[in-house]
Amino acid sequence: MITHIGIRDFAIISEIDIDLRDGLTVITGETGAGKSIIIEAISLALGGRADKAMLRAGKSKAVIQIAAELPDEAGEPSDHVLTREIGASGKSLAKLDGEIVTLARLSEFAARLADIHGQYDRHSLFKTENHLALIDAYHSRAIDPAKKATAAAWRAYAEAKRACAALRESEASSARQRDFMRFELDEITKADLKPGEDAALRENLAVLQNGEAIYERTSAASEALYEGERCAMDGLGTAMRALREVSAHSKELGELAQTVADAYYSLEDMNGALRALHDRMDFSPETMNRVIARLDLVERLCGKYGGSVAKVLEYGEALRAALADIENIDARKAELAARLSAREDELVRTCEALHTLRRAAADELEERINAELAELHFSGAAFAARFNDAGDMRQRLSENGADSVEFLLSSNRGQPLLPLAKIASGGEMSRILLAFKTVIGDYDGIPTMIFDEIDSGISGVTAGTVGRKLVRMAEKRQIICITHLPQIAACGAHHFAIRKSDDGEGVHTSVEPLSADERVLEIARLLGGENITETTRKSARELIEMSAAGAKK
């Protein structure tokens, strides 16, 4: 809600400060005192268009500030200040909480705060893009779960659609790459690589390159261990037999005999390994050339496809899988197309269910608003919520369903239904909006509603009805109403009067809160003009009392 309005050097206003509260606030004043100028200033602070002609004569800058309270994301009250400055050059400056912002950003924030209707209209109800959201909010308990189901179906549909598009995009490039991929796979397959083969080849090559030295050294080792009069094998055999003869005499001797026996048999096994190594030794150039050629092939493939045999084999498997996908792309396309069709069918079902709920909400909304219009003496008016269901629903699918809706109204019997923004203006439109707000005001979440010219062209009976509706609306939101009718002014919980004065140097406008006695005098003036009598005072008091009593019903 708006808590304070400050206006400096704007039109005929020199300086005005207005502290506002919740409930219904009425503002009255003589014709020409500047009532509409205040609305224009508020509209400017909420993001309206600026003009240097709005400056007070002789001043370099006009400043309008609005202090407001809005709930934050946690629902806690949060204070904000909206500022608009207009320079003599015509340039304007917008600020939000002291920070310079774009006019679009200020307007976006202000749309959460207040709706204005009057000559300088900023009413959200005129914007067709808001109409569907109002219907959804009106029956939110039933519609919100259907909207969530539709959003989930849309995400699944969009993902299936992206998968189909990605496959189509990759199909052309994959066809171009197919031959090259086959060449690479053939090269890897023919090589018949084995895990760890590169390390084994390097070791084998090292053995071959040092074969003569290895042969000589292993021969010397074999001779020392197994041949000659003093070989290790004979010595260990003698020791083993000697210890076995006495091993039964103590545990320690038994363990020593077993240790020597283990060494003897290990040496015997080693002899077999050395003989096998000798038998395998091949120093021919052909063998070495074969190993070198194989190692060159392995290293070349590793360099091309990943740096190791394991990476080359892994890359080969990836190629095999990619080629399988390319060669089976028709089957994959059919699979994805079937999935997309199923997702689309599910989305259509959720959209149809959502549309049914919205249509039911719109029908109820139409009935209630038409009843409100009748109460406001628009007996010939007709309101309708028109859905755009032309053509195939599948062409209108979205995360929010397949619906678009526009509010239409005919303000006179026999006249065609037209978009709200085209059918009326001034007080007539204000009363039409009042009918809407009476019904949907609890659902749009906007805390402040400002009416100008709501009483234009209406009688006292209708004015009383308007006043009572404003009071009921003000139970749940802040209502600010500029009026010249006493029946509406008498309904206000708070009353301000606009005065205009001339000090000889210029015209000045002021806004003053009225006490109970001052309020009686102001309403008496509205009833009888400048010549206030005891009769008009009495009538004013009775009107205030009647309005208070009517508001309690």
Closest CA to 497 of 527, 520, 473: 520
Asked whether residue 425 carries a pLDDT value surpassing 70, the answer given is: no
Cα 126 vs. chain centroid, distance in angstroms? 25
Specify if 84 maps to a domain: yes
Residues 85, 192 within the same domain: no
Residues 169, 89 within the same domain: no
Cα distance between residue 318 and residue 321, in whole Å: 5
Cα distance between residue 147 and residue 354, in whole Å: 7
Residues 303, 204 within the same domain: yes
Which CATH number characterizes residue 508's domain?
Answer: 3.40.50.300
Cα distance between residue 482 and residue 479, in whole Å: 10
Specify if 425 maps to a domain: no
Specify if 467 maps to a domain: yes
Q: Which pLDDT tens digit goes with each residue over 153-170?
A: 999 999 999 999 888 877
Neighbour tally for 290: CB within 10 Å: 12
**Confidence band for 213, pLDDT divided at 50, 70 and 90:** low
Specify if 413 maps to a domain: no
**DSSP secondary structure string, 350-385?**
HHHHHHHHHHHHHHHHHHHHHHHHHHTT-TT-EEEE
Specify if 357 maps to a domain: no
Specify if 429 maps to a domain: no
Model-level pTM?
A: 0.62
More confident residue, 185 or 291: 185
Q: Which pLDDT tens digit goes with each residue over 122-153?
A: 566 778 888 998 899 889 899 999 999 999 99
Residues 2, 92 within the same domain: yes
Residues 84, 233 within the same domain: no
Residue 455's alpha-carbon distances to 279, 430, 483, 498, 529, in angstroms, are 118, 8, 6, 17, 17
Residues 313, 189 within the same domain: yes
Question: Tokens 């021919």 belong to which residue?
Answer: 284
Specify if 130 maps to a domain: no
pLDDT of residue 175: 67
Residue 305: give the domain boundaries.
Answer: 159-330
Asked whether residue 349 carries a pLDDT value surpassing 80, the answer given is: yes
Residues 300, 240 within the same domain: yes
**Number of domains making up the chain:** 2
Cα distance between residue 498 and residue 514, in whole Å: 10
- Among candidate residues 267, 297, 330, the one where a domain is terminated: 330
For residue 307, give both structure tokens: 């740096």
**DSSP secondary structure string, 229-244?**
TT-HHHHHHHHHHHHH
Specify if 203 maps to a domain: yes
pLDDT of residue 120: 47
Q: Say which amino acid occupies 155.
A: R
Residues 204, 268 within the same domain: yes
Strands 2-10, 13-19: pairing is antiparallel
For residue 526, give both structure tokens: 């509205």
For residue 416, give both structure tokens: 């065609």
